Amino acid sequence: MGMSLFGQNASPNGATIEVPTGFATHLRWIPRLGDIFPNFSIPYGDGEFHFHDWAEGSWVYFFSHPQAETPVCSTEIADVAAHGDELARRGAKALNISTDSAEVQQAWIAEIERIFGVTVDFPLLSDPEGRVVSVCDMVHPHEDALLCVRKGFIIDPSLRIRMIFEYPLNVGRDFEEVLRVIDALRATDHNDLVAPGGWMPGDPLMVSPALGTAAARDRFGARLRVLNPYMRLLQPPRTR
Ligand code: BEZ
């Protein structure tokens, strides 16, 4: 159960977000790996968007951008939209948020679709009062007092935060890295494997330090290549 940080009465049409219990109200919660992403509700279209209802059961790429109708942000939204099939293939979906108004977002989406020839079919949430984006540590005052940084979360189907990254206002993100990390998490979760630096799907994985070499030999047999006690490569299964 979370604590309701912002009462409905304070702002009848605004966003609400629940932070985990166990945090005193005078301490600021900062999202960290392994945390359950807080539930939040925010006006969307003619209704309300409820984050946990929408996200649970899927991999989610939740990302903020600084401002609509700017060059880098336009390319980032187009890049995510162009990879819609790649997300769906992984059981993943995208969600964007910013402090732009919903009206500005709608006009901007139409322009992105026109220029880049894509369909933007994931939600862009509007948080003009900055309630959700500030609790989720998407505004960094030394970067900009009002605009979001380019923050990205990968959230797993049980709503846990599995990756966090932050880019400055003037550098756009590479969406291929988001897909690579989702692939790496899916390939290594719950099996004592880890993905080495630069890993791409089809490359060998490695055995986690948590699993001894004898146990790894028992489990993986001839696919295991032991270089030393801590560098143990697992060749991918042969495909014909
Ligand atoms: C951009 O997306 O191009 C951008 C947005 C805010 C500040 C600087 C650049």
Determine how β-strand 205-207 pairs with β-strand 231-234. antiparallel
Q: Is 212 helix (H, G, I), strand (E, B) or coil?
A: coil
d(CA 28, CA 24) in angstroms, rounded, equals 8
Ligand 1 probe mutation, 64, 108, 169, most atoms within 8 A of CB: 169
Residue pair 82/174 in contact by the 8 Å Cβ criterion: no
Q: How far is the CA of 205 from the centre of ligand 1 (A)?
A: 37
Our answer on whether the CB atom of 70 is closer than 6 Å to any ligand 1 atom is yes
Ligand 1 probe mutation, 63, 65, 67, 150, most atoms within 8 A of CB: 67
**Residue 116 burial (CB < 10 Å; 0-12/13-18/19+)?**
middle
| 75 Cα nearest atom in ligand 1 | 2
Q: How far is the CA of 234 from the centre of ligand 1 (A)?
A: 42
Residue pair 52/166 in contact by the 8 Å Cβ criterion: no
Instruction: Show which residues are catalytic.
Output: 73
Length of the chain: 240
Ordered domains of the chain (ranges, CATH): 6-173 (3.40.30.10), 190-234 (no CATH)
Our answer on whether the CB atom of 152 is closer than 6 Å to any ligand 1 atom is no
d(CA 119, CA 108) in angstroms, rounded, equals 12
Per-residue pLDDT of the chain (240 residues; tens, 9 = 90+): 333 444 443 456 688 888 776 655 567 889 999 999 999 999 999 999 999 999 999 999 999 999 999 999 999 999 999 999 999 999 999 999 999 999 999 999 999 999 999 999 999 999 999 999 999 999 999 999 999 999 999 999 999 999 999 999 999 999 999 999 999 999 999 999 999 999 999 999 999 999 999 999 999 999 999 999 999 999 988 765
Other Cβ atoms less than 10 A from the Cβ of 50: the count is 14
Q: How far is the CA of 95 from the centre of ligand 1 (A)?
A: 19
d(CA 9, CA 130) in angstroms, rounded, equals 17
Our answer on whether the CB atom of 171 is closer than 6 Å to any ligand 1 atom is no
Contacts of 133 (CB under 8 A, 6+ apart): 64, 97, 98, 99, 127, 139, 148
> Which amino acid, residue 68?
A
